[in-house]
Amino acid sequence: MDYCDYNESSSVNYLNSIQGIQFDGQSYALYDPNFKINDSFVINFQMKTLAHDGIILWVDDPLPESSFTIEIQNRQLIARAVVNGQPYSVRTDFTKNRLCDGVWHCIQIRLEGSLLSMKVDKRHYSKSETRVHSIDIRGPLFIGGYSEKYSPSYLSVRTNYFFNGNIRNLKINEQKIDWLAPRHTAVIREFYNLTTKIMPSKNDRSFPNSPAKKSTING
């Protein structure tokens, strides 16, 4: 069961006053360096942004070529699974700036074997891929962007931009992810994920496949 009340409004900007974690389009968070997706995965979160493009979540397993991606591309939200080189995805069909309008939207995405489903506010989308029989993806799970050590393939990630906006009420596989407020240092902004080990910070670096220099957020 997801945590959002879809009966009140299609936008969820009045659920609470917490602004969540702000990603500035130059940052990313590492949730788990060894995340596993075994046949099923579910994520719930609320998002608000004005940006028309940006990566929200990415898990990569290069051997075999498998990944799971959530991204905004041309003002549409897309969830994409690649299993042994076989891609399948769901995407919204909003008009104009219905998604990237600066108000909160409630999102739930489920991957259950060959079925990929997405719920954005009151709208439902799904896609089934009969050629996929089982899923075993193992790799780092990034939020908002990715490390400079990685260069996603076009099959996995289509946008060149990191996420620029706010995320709150994040739950991964029904586990709530709590974040401390960001703190500023001389070279980076740091976010700490209270439910996982705090990772050491890195200096500001230039990332491949991105339009500008990116600063690291470790969680």
Give the model confidence (pLDDT) of 161-189 as tens digits. 999 999 989 999 998 876 654 444 433 44
Task: Provide the pLDDT confidence category of residue 59 given band limits of 50, 70 and 90.
Answer: very high
* 95 assigned to some structural domain: yes
Per-residue model confidence (pLDDT) at position 4:
60
* Average pLDDT of every residue of the chain: 78
* 12 assigned to some structural domain: no
Can you give the CATH number for the domain in which 97 is found? 2.60.120.200
> Which tokens is 114 given?
């060959």
* 172 assigned to some structural domain: yes
CA distances, 122 to each of 39, 41, 119, 175, 214 (Å): 26, 21, 7, 23, 34
* 1 assigned to some structural domain: no
* 206 assigned to some structural domain: yes
pLDDT tens sequence across 94-110: 987 899 999 999 999 99
* 163 assigned to some structural domain: yes
CA distances, 28 to each of 41, 76, 141 (Å): 21, 21, 11
* 69 assigned to some structural domain: yes
What is the model's pTM? 0.77
Q: Which domain holds residue 69?
A: 22-214
Q: What percent of the chain has pLDDT over 90?
A: 54
pLDDT tens sequence across 127-147: 999 999 899 999 999 999 988
* 9 assigned to some structural domain: no
Q: Across 84-145, where does the E strand assignment appear?
A: 86-91, 105-112, 115-120, 123-128, 136-143
Instruction: Tell me how many domains the chain contains.
Output: 1
Whether pLDDT at 204 is above 50: no
